[in-house]
Amino acid sequence: MAIELNRDSYGVEVLESREPVLVDFWGPQCEPCLALEPVVERIEKEYAGKLKVTKVNASMNRMLCANLRVLGLPTFILYNGGVEVIRLAGEKITENELIDAIKRAVTS
C-alpha cells in the first residue's frame, strides 16, 4: 500500500529517501487520478524494493501542493536522491508515459 504523505512526513519519506520515490498527487473527485490508481498499484508491486510509492491527497494538503507548485491533477513527481528528476502533470497522462518515466528514474 502506498505511503500517504502530508507536509510533516514529506521531507523524511521523499527528500531523505535513499531509494527513488514516486509521489502521486491526487484528489478524490479527480476522475483521471482514480483511473490511474490501478496503474500506480501495479507499479508499486512491480517495483517493490526499487521504488517507494507515495500519495498526497491534494485536497487535504493544499499548502504542500502550493509549495511544490502542483497546479493540477493528477501530478506525478519522481525523486532520486531527494531531487526532483521527472514531473508529469495533466489529465492526459497515459500508463505508458508513467511507466517510461519510472524506468528512467529507477535506472538513473
User: Is residue 77 within 8 Å of residue 45, measured between CB atoms?
Assistant: no
Cα separation of 104 and 87, whole Å?
12
**Residue in 9, 27, 30, 39 annotated catalytic:** 30
Q: Annotated catalytic, 30?
A: yes
Q: Annotated catalytic, 65?
A: no
**Residue in 2, 21, 22, 33 annotated catalytic:** 33
User: Is residue 25 within 8 Å of residue 59, measured between CB atoms?
Assistant: no
Q: To which residue does cell 493540477 refer?
A: 72
Q: What SS3 state is found at 38?
A: helix
Cα separation of 85 and 101, whole Å?
9
Where in the sequence numbering do the catalytic residues fall? 30, 33
